[in-house]
Amino acid sequence: MPSEQTKTAPGNITEKESTHQQGSPAQLNGFNLAHDVTNPSSQPQFESRPPSPAPPPDTRILPREQWGGKYEFLLSCIGYCVGLGNVWRFPYLCYRNGGGVFLIPYFIMLFFTGVPLFLMELSLGQYGAAGPITVWKCCPLLKGIGIGMLCVSMLVCLYYNVIIAWTFYYLGSSFQSPLPWSCDAPANAYLCGNATVNSSSGRALSPSEVFWNERVLGVVNSKGLHDPGPVRWPLALCLLAAWVIIFFCMLKGIRSSGKVVYVTATFPYFVLIVLIIRGATLEGSLQGVAFYLTPDWGRLASAQVWNDAASQVFYSLGIGVGGLLSMASYNKFDNNVIRDCLVITIGNCSTSFFAGFAIFSILGHMAWRKGVPVGEVADTGPGLAFVAYPEALALLPGSVFWSILFFLMLFMLGVDTLFGNMEGITTAVLDEFPQLRANMKQKSLFLGLLCFGFYLMGLLLITDGGIYWFTLIDSFATSFGLIIITLFMCIGISFFYGVNQFCQDIIDMICLCPPWCSKVLLYFKACWVFCTPFLLLFILTYIFIEMYNTPLQYGTYVYPRWGKALGVCMGATCCLQIPIWAIVAISKESGTLKDRFKKSIRPLNSWRGNNLNNSGGGEERVEPERMEAPFTVNLTDRDTVNLTEVDFTAIAWENGTEA
């Protein structure tokens, strides 16, 4: 066994031959070696971990993929960040929290929380060239953060593709003329003429509400969370089609998804521009825009406004789920990560702002047609995307065309975001089991089983009562658990790994670092150490207070206590991975508890090895685990001559020993 043999460096240097004479220091390439290299007694003695057996010489895996170009990475990240929340959540939050005044706390939270965390995740992934689990070789104590990210990403993928299934259903229905949720449809004549009243809300039902609740969801046939009812098979087919598309788009990793984003990331911008231009020509559009942006300065004193701003920045950027970290891990090592961070975050938030004009200009026209205030037709979440806005589109000339265009845009937005979440899961698994990359058949089988498993679990969300389960997972999957994961990521990198070392890593990646990059890093350093953790604690405190005081409900249905407890368990499962895996990391070390802790926050030697493989351009090889303490080499004068012929590195030492 290698561990039982005497360590021998290349050049036949052994401890038995180390009889160096005093007064004649050994030399290496003309330089005198330090005394602590030639005299082992002068070195502090560290307890070293036994090296694991090296793999056979022919153990090879496929080289880690890289983006075909920087635009593929930028478009993938923009497509991942610019999701459905930019269209159906930001405009609603803006008008609910003081109109244009909401932009003040929004941009403050963006630059003190969103951008620093975004840069941290991109830099960590790019420097480590690894997924959300393997990247924590930089601090093994915090490996649970990667596991927690994986749990959150799985919950998001579970319900997010259900939204794409709904979009498919509406997209297929949009090819009918007249649209099935418009008053022109014969089946809706009784609704538009007689103003059918909803017994629970006491107001008239619109055809779009009836179509959504009865034709799509079937929620009228369910009594609540305990009564899911049968699967709605038209939606089941749409969900299956959605997962099949995701499977084929991700089959070849970023080589396939990186090409798809050229369409899926740019098409929504084309649609938004068309909708803004069309909305500006409609009667009543200015009324909707005014409702969107009219400032209410008194709202700045409300804590809810600041929490809504922080949560919108946080969730719209996709921080803490592992998708950003995974996509950045396929970058070239010298990519300018600071430039990409600023471009993506500013582009994402600008998209949210301009999407509000496309939404509220058309909602203003609908309010003008109905003769009601804009506030009565405005909504958020699925209610905006699948009830209010489709109803507004049905009032436009050429409504079929506009409906097809809108739901194609929703499909593209959803698919891009799901690409990022799925990339986080697959990258994490492939990095932990790199042999899967070597066999395309095994990798395809893994991806197929993963998609099929998500499909089977997603069937619960497309039953008659599936919307209740959807709302439960949506409310808790990215709630306090995600905030805690991100808080520990920020604290761990800043104080355990070291914020100065992390900034130096970023400078090392940007070979020709412009002067402005170094100055900007000072700002980010202050955010990572002070501002960002404080603001995350504020968000977390508000979430817990709101969760305790506010009942969870969908429409008029109030969730039972056991349902809310189930949601809390989902969020707790994600963040509890941090202490569980921290205990595992400490238990693997030896010594006192203090020594174990110090060892568990020390980066592994293989932490930098990934970067050598990533930037070398050759085949990536599974490296043997190396000793975690410095080794002692005793040299003689004649032995130093041989050292000029070899690469005196830890890798060469290990390879020479095993030979």
Convert the pLDDT of each residue in 582-602 to its tens digit: 999 999 998 899 999 999 999
82 marked as part of a ligand binding site: yes
Treating both helix axes as pointing N-terminal to C-terminal, what angle do 233-249 and 254-264 enclose, rounded to 10 degrees? 120
Q: What is the percentage of the chain residues whose pLDDT exceeds 90?
A: 42
- CA–CA separation, 257 vs 188, rounded Å? 41
Convert the pLDDT of each residue in 260-291 to its tens digit: 888 888 899 999 999 899 888 888 899 889 88
Q: What is the dihedral of CA 588, 590, 593, 596, to 10 degrees?
A: -60
Q: For residue 243, what pLDDT band results from cuts at 50, 70 and 90? A: very high
Higher model confidence: residue 425 or residue 200? 425
DSSP-derived secondary structure letter, 322: S
pLDDT for position 253: 74
284: CB partners within 8 A, 6+ apart: 364, 365, 366, 367, 368, 369
Can you say whether the dihedral through the CA atoms of 480, 482, 488, 493 is positive or negative?
A: negative
79 marked as part of a ligand binding site: yes
- CA–CA separation, 167 vs 347, rounded Å? 25
416 marked as part of a ligand binding site: yes
Cβ atoms 510, 517 nearer than 8 A: yes
Is 90 exceeded by the pLDDT of residue 294?
A: no
Is 50 exceeded by the pLDDT of residue 133?
A: yes
C-alpha pair distances (Å), 37 with each of 29, 51, 526, 627, 634: 15, 21, 39, 17, 7
**What is 174-239 written as a DSSP string?**
TTSSS-TTSTTSGGGHHHHHH-PBPTTT-SBPPHHHHIIIIIII-GGG--BTTB--SB-HHHHHHH
pLDDT for position 449: 95
Cβ atoms 107, 310 nearer than 8 A: no
pLDDT for position 40: 44
C-alpha pair distances (Å), 474 with each of 163, 169, 395, 478: 11, 20, 31, 7
DSSP-derived secondary structure letter, 605: G
348 marked as part of a ligand binding site: yes
What type of residue sits at position 548? Answer: Y
150: CB partners within 8 A, 6+ apart: 132, 133, 322, 424, 425, 428
Q: Hey, is 557 helix, strand or coil? A: strand
- Which tokens go with 489? 């990521």
Convert the pLDDT of each residue in 378-412 to its tens digit: 777 788 889 888 888 888 888 999 999 999 999 99
- CA–CA separation, 207 vs 122, rounded Å? 45
Nearest to 519 by CA among 498, 535, 503: 503
* Across 22-26, 113-117, 182-186, least confident range: 22-26
pLDDT for position 59: 43
Is 80 exceeded by the pLDDT of residue 21?
A: no
Nearest to 419 by CA among 241, 239, 259: 259
Q: Between β-strands 553-554 and 31-32, what pairing exists: parallel, antiparallel or unpaired? A: unpaired
514: CB partners within 8 A, 6+ apart: none
Cβ atoms 243, 451 nearer than 8 A: yes
Nearest to 337 by CA among 521, 112, 606, 488: 521
Domains, the chain, ordered by start: 105-186+206-587 (1.20.1740)
Q: For residue 48, what pLDDT band results from cuts at 50, 70 and 90? A: very low
Convert the pLDDT of each residue in 542-554 to its tens digit: 889 888 888 888 8
- Is 640 exposed, middle or buried (CB count within 10 Å of its CB: 0-12, 13-18, 19+)? buried
Convert the pLDDT of each residue in 399-445 to its tens digit: 999 999 999 999 999 998 998 899 999 999 998 888 888 788 888 99
415: CB partners within 8 A, 6+ apart: 164, 245, 246, 249, 260, 264
Is 80 exceeded by the pLDDT of residue 235?
A: yes
- CA–CA separation, 84 vs 653, rounded Å? 52
**What is 414-457 written as a DSSP string?**
HHHHHHHHHHHHHHHHHHHSTHHHH-HHHHHHHHHHHHHHHHHH
Q: For residue 616, what pLDDT band results from cuts at 50, 70 and 90? A: very low
pLDDT for position 50: 47
C-alpha pair distances (Å), 638 with each of 9, 539, 564: 14, 65, 74
pLDDT mean across residues, the chain: 81
Convert the pLDDT of each residue in 134-193 to its tens digit: 999 999 999 999 999 999 999 999 999 999 999 999 999 999 888 999 888 888 887 776
Higher model confidence: residue 135 or residue 654? 135
Q: For residue 499, what pLDDT band results from cuts at 50, 70 and 90? A: very high
Cα three-residue angle 542-546-548, rounded to 5 degrees: 120
500 marked as part of a ligand binding site: no
- CA–CA separation, 16 vs 18, rounded Å? 6
pLDDT for position 369: 84
